[in-house]
Chain A
Amino acid sequence: MSADMFHLGWFGSFIPTTWTTGWDGTDAARWMDGKFYVDKVRTLERACFDFILFEDSSMVSDVYGGSSEATLKRGGWAPKGDPVALAPILARATERIGISVTMSTSFYPPWMLARSVATLDHMSRGRIGWNIVTSSEDLAAKNFGMDALPPHDERYARADEFVDLVTQLWDSWDADALVMDRERGVYVDHTKVRPIDFVGKYYKSRGPLNTLRPPQGRPVLTQAGGSPAGRQFASRYADMVMALPKGVPAMKEYRDDIRMRVAAEGRDPDRTKVMFVVSPILGETHQHALDRKAAKDEAVRQHPEGQLIGWSGSMEIDFSRFDLDKPLPDDVQTNGHQSTLANFRKWANGRTLREACVAYRTESMELIGTPDEVAAQMDEAMQEVGGDGFLIWNQPHNRRYIGEIADGLVPALQKRGLMRTGYGHEHFRDNLLEF
C-alpha cells in the first residue's frame, strides 16, 4: 500500500548560486546571464516536475546591524533578478514544465500585471503561473514611494479586489475573438472584446486588456497563506497553495482546513493543490545523510548570521542586537509582523538564538536518508496527509543538489509509482489537476 501519485515543484529565487561550498562551479559570478537557470529548469523538466516557482522581494535589507553589510556580504536578500524577465527565456527552453513567478499586488499596477502574465502565458503556450504576494516589508514599500505598506488584513482586502480585476481583464477577450478572416479583412471580432469598467474600493480600470485571452484562460494562481486572511484568500483563488506547517499532523490539519475553506467557497477542493515545502538531505547511505545534516547544523552553529539576517529582513527586527546564547528577550516588539514574531516565540520555545538558528528549517518535515529512504518518508507522509505533494526548497543552491534530487530522489519516487514519468498535458493547470 502506498500513497497516490503526488506532485513535485521547485521553490527558489533568481539569485546567486552557492560559491563557498566546494561544489560551486562558476555560476555564482555569471548567474545573471540566465544560463544556470535554463539548465536548472531543463533538468527539472527531465525529472517531470510540475513546475518551478520563483519567489521575489524588492529591497536590500539593512535591518540586521542597521546596515546592509551583512545581507550583501552573504548575498542574502540581494542581489536578486526580476523573475518575470527571466521567465520568457525559461519558457522558450522548455516544453511542458510550469513556471510560476511572484508579482506583488502592493506594487504592480493591475492592468500591467494582467498583460505581462497574459503575454507570458502565450509565450509558454499555457504554462505560466502567477504567485500572488501582498509583500510584507516596509523597506520595499519605500522603494515604491510609499512610507509603509498597508496593514496586513487591508493588504489582503486589496489583493482580493486586485485578483478580481485582473481576472476580469483576462476575461475581457473571448477565447474565439481572433477570427483572422482574410476575405472580410477582420483580424479580431470586436463583439468579443469588452471594456470591464471596473470601479472598486482600491482600484479602477476601464479595460479591456489589449492582448488575446491567455491560453489557459486564467493562468495558474499560486499562493502561500498561513494567516487566516491568507488562507481565506487562497481558498477563493489559488490552484496551488504553498504551505509550511510543521510536522505531519499539522500538514494534515492545514490541508484539511484549506479543502474545507475551498468547498465553502463553492469550489471543488480537488482543484486546489496543497504542497509542502521540504529540503531533503540525501546521501549514498543513511549515515552519509546524517553526517551531512550534522555538518550543516554545525556550520549554522558557528555562523548563525545567515539565518538571523533572514529573520531581520522578514520581521524587521534587528537580531544583531541580541545575545546569541540567550533566548530572544521578552520585550522585543515589531511594527508590522506581530503574528510572525508570536509564532517565532512559540516555536523557539526557550531555545537560545543560536540553537534556534540550528533548529530552524524552511520545511514542513525533515527528510533525511538515501533516495529510497526519503521516497519512503514522503510516501508515508502523503498517506497520512492525503496529498498533494512537495515543493523542494533548494538548499544548497547548486547543480550538485539539483542533480541529487532530479537524478536520485525522483527516480526512486517514480519506481514507487509516486511521481509522474511523463506529462499528460500541455498546460500547467492541466498537469496540476491530472491527479
Chain B
Amino acid sequence: MTTAVDPRFHLAWFKSFTPHDWRGPWAGPEDREWMNGDSHVDFLQALERARFDFLMLEDSLMVSDTYAGTAEASLAQGGYAPKGDPALLASMLLSETTRIGVIATMSSTFVPPWLLARTSATIDHLSGGRFGWNCVTSSENRAAQNFGMDALPPHDERYERAAEYVDLVKQLWDSWEDGALVMDEETNTYVDHTKVRPIHFEGRWHRSRGPLNLMRPPQGHPVICQAGGSPAGKAFAAANADVLLALPKGLADMKRYRDDIRELAVEAGRDPDDIKVMFIVSPILADTDEEARELQALMNANAEAKIKAQMVNWSATMEIDFSRFDLDEPLPDDASTNGHQSTLSTFRKFAAGRTLREAFTAYRTESIEVVGSPATAADVLQEAMEFVGGDGFLIMGGTTNRRYVHEITDGLVPELQRRGLVRTEYAGAHLRDHLREF
C-alpha cells in the first residue's frame, strides 16, 4: 500500500454550533443572528478551499449549572450554551459545499435509533455521501434530566448500549440494498422490494422492526466518528469508528494511543488503516516565532480568567463543581466523574501534583503545543506525524474568528501543502474516500 510512503496526513476542525469569537479584538461586527448559519457557511467554505477532510460539530444537551451551583458563569461565558442542533447545521453547510465532509454529534443515549438512522441517511443523500455521525454516549446527568431520566446509565453500560445501538443503526442502513431503486419502466417498478428487508432487531436495550424507509446512504454507512479515551471507549471505537478524535498529551502518549487503537482494531478483525486517529491541536500562529510566543504569553497573562473559563467548562462536562476546590492545592484524590473519564485522568497525569492554579495555567486542550510562524508550526506537525505514524490533526480554535480561520487555511495549510504533507486537491467524492485516501 501507498500508506507506508505517502507522507500526507489529514486535517479537520472541531467546533460546536455556537457563536464565533464575540469579545476578542478580531471578533468582527456584533452578530446576534449567528444561528442563521451564515458565518458557519463562510467558515466551512474556507475549510473546503484548504482541502480539509471534514468539520466535526460537537454537541451537548443542557445548560450547565454545576459550577458554583448556578448557570451564571456558564451562560455568561457562552460556549456551552446557547448551542444549535448540529445535524441541521450540517445539512445546511453541506448544501453550500461540494467536497468537504461534515460530522455531526448525536447521542446514542437520547436519540431514538430509527430516527438517527434516517436523519443521517437523509443528510448523506442530500450531500452526495459527505456526512458523518460522531457517536457520543453523553456524559451529563443534567442532559439526562432534560430527557426525563433522573441520571445517565453508568459509564461502561453506556458503551454497551452504544455498541448495540450502532449495530442496530448499521442494520437499518443496510436494510435497503444498493441498487434497490430500479426505476424499471417495463414492469412499472420504482423500488425492487426483494432488496428491502425488515431487520427484526431485538437487543437487550433496543428494538426495531425496520426496514428504514429510505434508500441506502451513498456511503453505505455514513462515516462514524468517536472520541474514546477510556478502555470501554477505546474498545468501542476500535470496533466501530472510521475516525477517532484523541487528546493524549505529548508525542509518546500520542504514539501509544494510536498503536493501541490499531492493535484493538486488528483484534476486532479490522484493517487498522481504516481507522484514522486525529489529534487535537490549537495552533498559535504569527509572522515570526517570537511574535507567536508573545501572543501565547498574552493569552496566559490573564490567568484568573483563563483558569475560570477552563473550570467552568469542565464543571459542565464532568459535573464536578470546580469552584469548591482550593486553587492552591492539587486536585483532590476523590474527585471523580461519570463522564469524560479520560479527560480527567489525562489532566491528573498532566498536573502531576501541581496546584490547580499552576496546572490550569499551563493546561491547554491540545495534544502538542504548536506555536510559531507557519513554517515552524509545519515543522512541529511534520515531526509529530513522523514520530507517531499518523493520521492527522483536528484543529480546535478555542474561540474562532475569521482572522484565526484564515491564519490556518491561508497560512499554515499552504505551507503544509508546499511540503507535500496535506492534500492540494480532493481525490474522492465521499467523506470516507478522503479519510482512506492516504
* A425 in the interface (beta carbon within 8 A): no
Chain A interfacial residues counted at CB < 8 A: 77
B191/A72 in contact, CB under 8 A: yes
Rounded to whole Å, the gap between the CB of A348 and the closest CB of chain B is 26
Please name the residue on chain A nearest to B27 by beta carbon: A182
**Given A68-B193, A142-B209, A178-B82, CB of A85 within 8 Å of CB of B119:** yes
Which residues of B in the span 166-224 have a Cβ within 8 Å of any Cβ on A?
A: 176, 180-181, 183, 185, 187-193, 196, 206-215
**From A72, A111, A125, A190, residue with most partner B Cβ within 10 Å:** A72
**From B112, B148, B185, residue with most partner A Cβ within 10 Å:** B148
Complex CA distance for A81 and B181, rounded to whole angstroms: 14
Rounded to whole Å, the gap between the CB of A64 and the closest CB of chain B is 11
* A347 in the interface (beta carbon within 8 A): no
B interface bracket (residues with beta carbon within 8 Å of A): 35 or more
* A33 in the interface (beta carbon within 8 A): yes
B118/A82 in contact, CB under 8 A: yes
In the complex, per-residue mask of A58-79: 1 if CB is within 8 Å of any chain B CB, else 0: 1110000001110111110111
* B122 in the interface (beta carbon within 8 A): yes
**Cross-interface CB contact of B37 among A88, A186, A205, cutoff 8 Å:** A88
Complex CA distance for A69 and B182, rounded to whole angstroms: 13
* A382 in the interface (beta carbon within 8 A): no
Q: Which residues of A contact B183 (CB under 8 A)?
A: 19, 28-29
Complex CA distance for A72 and B215, rounded to whole angstroms: 11
In the complex, per-residue mask of B78-96: 1 if CB is within 8 Å of any chain A CB, else 0: 1111111101110110011
Complex CA distance for A87 and B214, rounded to whole angstroms: 17
**Cross-interface CB contact of B210 among A33, A108, A143, cutoff 8 Å:** A143
Please name the residue on chain A nearest to B210 by beta carbon: A143
* A323 in the interface (beta carbon within 8 A): no
Rounded to whole Å, the gap between the CB of A204 and the closest CB of chain B is 4
* A260 in the interface (beta carbon within 8 A): no
* A383 in the interface (beta carbon within 8 A): no
B148/A205 in contact, CB under 8 A: yes
Q: List 7 A-B contacts (CB under 8 A).
A: A68-B193, A82-B121, A84-B88, A123-B84, A123-B88, A144-B208, A185-B77
Please name the residue on chain A nearest to B184 by beta carbon: A73
Please name the residue on chain B nearest to A207 by beta carbon: B146
Please name the residue on chain A nearest to B83 by beta carbon: A210
Rounded to whole Å, the gap between the CB of A135 and the closest CB of chain B is 12
**Given A85-B126, A111-B61, A122-B36, CB of A59 within 8 Å of CB of B76:** no
**Given A88-B89, A122-B35, A182-B22, CB of A32 within 8 Å of CB of B125:** yes
A60/B211 in contact, CB under 8 A: yes
Complex CA distance for A86 and B89, rounded to whole angstroms: 11
Please name the residue on chain B nearest to A196 by beta carbon: B146
Complex CA distance for A145 and B119, rounded to whole angstroms: 17
Complex CA distance for A119 and B37, rounded to whole angstroms: 10
Please name the residue on chain A nearest to B95 by beta carbon: A89
**Interface-side segment among B6-14, B67-75, B371-379:** B67-75
**Given A72-B193, A123-B92, CB of A92 within 8 Å of CB of B37:** yes
Q: Which residues of B contact A419 (CB under 8 A)?
A: none
